[in-house]
């Protein structure tokens, strides 16, 4: 299997606080890596470093065989896209959906100007939204719909790696379910490589092939999904798993 992403010895410090402590992580192509951890574990920081939003203090990131440096090329930017947690803040409130999608499409020259409309509609239908949504503004949509639009924007530039940082945590359970189903469909259709971050082990179980656990800036365990949920190696993983409230039998 080819590696889509390699994280080598990545360290991020904020003053005296070490947010990421020598992280080593490989991500195989066309798989989903579920990254779990409690608040403050550094999982979001890791996502932002990989997306190029935070510059690391040490270590390197390889996308395929290319090293991602502090200053990324347009092509490298295009290859990694991210979906964020808060559906209220993930879309520019002053831009229509048409503007949001066409900006991404045109900036990375995915299609000609003449085809932008067609492609935008295709993207919307891919995330199961109606074509007439195009001329609406973010505040006219529900949280789940906004999250779908954010997914459409991320997919519009045809990235090779999609980072999803708690994309369903702020949604109602019924909506969460439909967004997870959407992820499932898209993953199969588009052969995506996904880094999926969540504090919710149920969600991680539903989407991941591999699971990584972070705690206080360190990666404590990486394991296949089947191993992790039944025979976790680290004491902390076990603690996390046994804390999940279960349905009475």
Partner 1 sequence: MTTTTPDIQLPEGKKQVNGLRRIWNTPSLLIGIIMFAVLILLALFIPYLSPYHPTEQNLSAFLQPPSSTHWLGTDQLGRDLFTRLIYAARTDLTIMVLAEIIPFCTGVLLGMLSGYYGKWTDRIIALITDTFIAFPFYLIVIIVAFASGAGERGIYITFILVGWIVFARVVRGLSASFREQEWVASAQTLGLPGSRIILRHLLPNVLPQAVVVLMTDMVGLLVAIVTLGYLGIGIAPPTPDWGTMISDGQPFITTAWWLSAVPGFAVVYTGIALSLLGDGLADIWRKK
Partner 2 sequence: MSTEPVLEVESLTLAAKSKEILVNNISFSLARGESLGLVGESGSGKSLTLRAILGLLPRGVEQTGGAVRSKVSSAMVFQDPRGALDPLCPVVKQLAEVVYYRQQVSRRAARTIALELLERLGLPDSLRKKDRYPSQLSGGQCQRVVIALALACKPGILLCDEPTTALDVTVQRQIIDTITSLQHELGFAMVFVTHNLAIAANLCSRLYVMKQGQIVEHGETLSLLQHPADPYTQMLIDSVLPLPELELEGSRQ
Residue 51 touches partner 1, criterion: CB under 8 A = yes
CA distance linking residue 19 with residue 7, whole number of Å:
15
Shortest reach from residue 45's CB to partner 2, in Å? 17
Q: Pick from partner 1, partner 2, none: which does 31 bind, CB < 5 to 8 A by kind?
A: none
Of 128 and 202, nearer to partner 2 (C-beta) is: 202
Shortest reach from residue 131's CB to partner 2, in Å? 28
Task: Look up residue 154 and give its two tokens.
Answer: 């991320």
Beta bridge partner(s), residue 17: 14
| CA angle in degrees (0–180, nearest 5) for 5-6-7 | 125
Task: Look up residue 167 and give its two tokens.
Answer: 């994309």
Find the binding residues for partner 1 in span 182-241 (CB under 8 A): 185, 189
For the purposes of burial, counting CB atoms within 10 Å of the CB of 154, is it exposed (0-12), middle (13-18) or buried (19 or more)? buried
Task: Look up residue 110 and give its two tokens.
Answer: 């995915």
Of 170 and 211, nearer to partner 1 (C-beta) is: 170
Q: Pick from partner 1, partner 2, none: which does 205 bind, CB < 5 to 8 A by kind?
A: partner 2
Q: How far is CA 85 from CA 94, 125, 240, in A?
A: 20, 22, 21
Q: Pick from partner 1, partner 2, none: which does 44 bind, CB < 5 to 8 A by kind?
A: none
Applying CB under 8 A, the span of 25-33, 61-69, 99-107, 223-231 interacting with partner 1 comes to: 99-107
Instruction: With beta carbons less than 8 A apart as the criterion, state whether 13 and 174 touch.
Output: no
Q: Give CA torsion, residues 39, 41, 44, 46, to 10 deg.
A: 180
Shortest reach from residue 206's CB to partner 2, in Å? 5
Residues that bind partner 1 (CB under 8 A): 48, 51-53, 72, 74, 76-78, 80-82, 84-86, 89-95, 103-104, 107-108, 122, 124-126, 128-133, 136, 139-142, 145, 148, 150, 153-154, 157, 185, 189
């Amino acid at each position: 299997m080819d590696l889509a992403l390699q994280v080598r010895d990545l360290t991020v410090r904020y003053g005296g606080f070490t947010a990421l402590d020598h992280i080593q992580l490989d991500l195989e192509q066309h798989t989903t890596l579920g990254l779990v951890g409690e608040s403050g574990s550094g999982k979001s920081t890791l996502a932002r470093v990989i997306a190029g939003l935070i510059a690391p203090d040490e270590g390197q990131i390889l996308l395929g065989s290319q090293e991602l440096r502090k200053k990324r090329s347009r092509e490298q930017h295009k290859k990694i896209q991210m979906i964020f947690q808060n559906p209220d803040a993930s879309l520019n409130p002053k831009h229509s959906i048409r503007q949001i999608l066409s900006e991404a499409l045109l900036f990375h020259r995915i299609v000609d100007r003449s085809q932008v409309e067609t492609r935008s509609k295709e993207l919307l239908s891919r995330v199961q939204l109606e074509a007439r949504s195009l001329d609406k503004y973010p505040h006219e949509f529900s949280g789940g719909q906004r999250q779908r639009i954010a997914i459409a924007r991320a997919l519009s530039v045809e990235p090779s790696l999609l980072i999803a940082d708690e994309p369903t945590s702020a949604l109602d359970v019924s909506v969460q379910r439909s967004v997870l189903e959407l992820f499932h469909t898209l993953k199969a259709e588009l052969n995506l490589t996904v880094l999926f971050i969540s504090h919710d082990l149920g969600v991680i179980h539903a989407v991941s092939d591999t699971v990584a656990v972070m705690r206080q800036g360190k990666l404590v365990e990486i394991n296949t999904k089947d191993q992790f949920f039944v025979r976790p190696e680290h004491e902390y993983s076990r603690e996390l798993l046994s804390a999940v409230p279960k349905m009475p039998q």
